[in-house]
Amino acid sequence: MEKVTVKICEGTTCFVMGGGTIKPVLTALTQRYAARIEIVSARCLGACNHADSFSKAPYVLVEDEIISAADIEKVYAAIEKRLKND
């Protein structure tokens, strides 16, 4: 069974828009899945390279799914969906 990889953008825009609060809360919430999830920080996911994309930060990548305007609920739901598909 492979781990679900969650990359949390901590670039300047994402961090300022709330990305810095996602990792600690998500890590605490996912303790029961610890063996099946890898949560990592990314310097930049490149998702806000266009001026109109800044308002959709923060960004989180769950495997191959980019989540814009990411919050704990959206990211947790994407993780659970991936875990159920395994």
Per-residue pLDDT of the chain (86 residues; tens, 9 = 90+): 689 999 999 999 899 999 989 999 888 888 888 889 999 999 999 888 765 666 789 999 999 999 999 999 999 999 999 998 76
pLDDT of residue 81: 92
pLDDT of residue 53: 65
Measure the CA–CA gap between 12 and 3, rounded to whole angstroms. 27
> 59-83: string of b/e by CB count within 10 Å (b at 16+)?
bbbbeeebbeebeeeebbebbeebe
Predicted TM-score (pTM) of this structure: 0.88
pLDDT of residue 46: 87
CATH number of 4-85: 3.40.30.10
Question: Which pair of structure tokens corresponds to residue 16?
Answer: 């300022």
